[in-house]
Structure 1
Amino acid sequence: MRIAARTSSGEGGALADFPMLRNQLDAWRTRLAETGWTPWLILGLAVFLRFFLLGIKPPHFDEGINGWFVDQMMKNGFYKYDPTNYHGPLHFYVLLLSQTLFGRNVWALRLPVVLVSISCVWLTFKFEPFVGRAVSRMAALAMAVSPGFVFYGRYSIHEVWLVLFSMLFILGLLGLWKAGTPDYLWCAGMGLAGMILTKETYIIHVGCAALAVPVLVASNRLHRLPDAPPAKQTWDYVDLAFVISVGAAAIIFFYSGTFFHWSGVKGLYQFYQAWFATGHEGHGHEKEAYNLIWKDHSWINYYWIALIARYEWPVLGGLTLCLFCQRFKNISLRYLAIYGVGTL
């Protein structure tokens, strides 16, 4: 007696034999996407990956230098800003506070950046009104488990601060466009001030954010979006004055060495000369092309592209999708795609 071969479908597969199990899995998937616990699970994963065996790696050279600057602050009573150091003063003052509270150890040295890295994952969820729940949660999950971001999130260095403040700045810009409330004005203003206090390369992010606007306008003319018009702004000049005043006060306070080194304020523009010289001549920060993927000296082996292709597949997927930003129906996603490619 011949028994007919069992057929299967791409939609059902093995679960077609167990409809109750399939329905239960679908229900769990829907509930997980809709539940308020999903962000907490992602945050918990980010916390675990950043705190687990935090002190197991010996301090890196950059961490030692940053610790040395904190020692000098203990002797002098303030941070003497040097525009040729290419790093703002905020990180050093936070390290000083951390070591004062928790002692002179590796944990105290790395704890501030760990908390900032976790805050970046949390801040990603705040983009949900502009990019949607699924996109914001996928981005937060990718950031939580990213090998590169986990590494730098356990490493006492300035760059994670720049990520946090640039995210806050962009969140403010999107919020002003879509909602126009004073809260988003504060996000943009404090994000900009924080970037200035963190690292001189803030000018790259601000420039890319500005250049992305005319590109977005041209993109919208080619393929108009229904949500393109900006929202009515509900903040006034008093709100703007408060934001500017608070941001300027913070910048002056830290760059002036808490008012003990006023010449440090001049570094806000003096760093350009030193920075342009470094950008032209290199000074040891060049990134070579490595034979990591395919053929010697291929453009795909450019340092960052090669590392992304090897270890950061969510980033690679996101960058690939950016090439198709013209098909995005969401203006915020389209702007972020243009801005993201520009900063890379």
Structure 2
Amino acid sequence: QQSLPQSYPQSQPHTLPRYPAWMSQIAANAPSAPQPSGCAMSPGQSGPGDPGAHCASGAGAFGFVASPIRSYPQCEQSPDCSASDSVVPVEHASSQIWGVTLEYENLLNVQRDQHLATVRHMSAEASQLRQAVQMFQAGRYDEGFMAHSLRAKDEEMRLAVEAKQKELELFSSLLRVRDRQIGELQAQASDLQRRQLSSSRDDGAVSETLKEAFKQTEELRKEKAELERLLLVKERQMNAIQAVNPEMADSSALQLGAQAIQMFHDSMRLKTETADCAQENQELRNEVDGLQLRVEELDGIVSEKRGEVKELTASLSGRMQRVFDLESEVDSIRREQQQT
């Protein structure tokens, strides 16, 4: 049985994922660099269609510094690191930050569309409720008004489906961002572990950064699992809404009512069966308790009978011994008489 939502509540605003803290830590350790010529604006100021306007210094839309970034602060003290490995090129850093900015901009757009679809759905639902209130207040129940109400209900259902689809798109985008962040953290952790093993001395900075990266990876995995669970719930709600037959547009509300009544009857039947099973189980438990008491009584009776049997056996043994003694005396008397 697919459970229909009681109503279609407005979705709560979803929190956008934060970018891993190690990116900000790396950016904080970056030295300031002069701005190259031809830089017009930062990635946060340029539009999504202007990838050529990258800036080598300054903060982007999410506060990331786009200056030359040192990939690992501890690499300066390691003899295994070369100059080419210790500094990230400006173009690479700018492209990475620009990609993150576009990712978050896409998430914001999807979230905005989802909120707008939810607002439209709630507005349609409020309009339909106002029409129902007006109908009840005026006492008008003509067919035209009912047909208009059914069309409004169909429009409300369409907007609800659209809102759920936007919400599914938002969750899918969040999952993609989480997957990418987990991949970046895993790559960062693997690289740090490799450098830690190859380094001649470890001052503890690599270990702390590695632990932080693993910790953030675990947090992102938990958030991803929660998002997958929410996505499954939303898909079930979508299936419940789409279960209404669109060919019967005039009776969609009746279909929903029939499904709700059927679900109610099924739940009542299950409750009745559960109560009957519970009563039967209680009767069986009482019967088992009675049988256990009877077994205990029989055990006591058997113990008493065993005691009586032991007493009778002892008495019989004594009498048999007495018989043997008497037979011996009789034999001795007979022998004496024969001798005389």
TM-score normalised by length of structure 1: 0.21
Q: Which has the larger radius of gyration?
A: 2
